[in-house]
Amino acid sequence: MADLADAMTLRWWSRSGVASTAEADGSPVTEADAAAEDAVLSALREAHPGDGFLGEEVGERLGTTGRRWIVDGIDGTRFFAAGLAEWGSLIALESDARSSLE
């Protein structure tokens, strides 16, 4: 899943920067943030249809398995938008309220 998120975000990233807007809390967000989360969510729905999902941009989708994927498509959006390489995609799996990295 991390490779999928990385592939999606790298389509958008540029050393010259990426357009961003401000969220309600003032933090930057790019179209790539939501695109990466959407790509991971789609893949997870196919591979693990009963699992829940929590994404910074797309919100929460409840599941039925006791498992929930927690995704930040771009951690470090401020750097991503500025064209700096200090960012990454974060994915964790929570199972019965215990988290682990994917």
Spell out the domain ranges in the chain: 2-101
**For residue 5, pLDDT beyond 60:** yes
Q: What is the DSSP letter of 64?
A: S
pLDDT in tens, 44-84: 999 999 999 999 888 999 999 999 999 999 999 999 999 99
Q: Distance (Å, rounded) from C-alpha 67 to C-alpha 96? A: 6
pTM of the model: 0.86
- Give me the CATH code for the 2-101 domain, please: 3.30.540.10
Q: How many CB atoms lie within 10 A of CB 44?
A: 22
pLDDT of 99 strictly over 80 = no
Mean pLDDT to the nearest integer, 3-25: 91
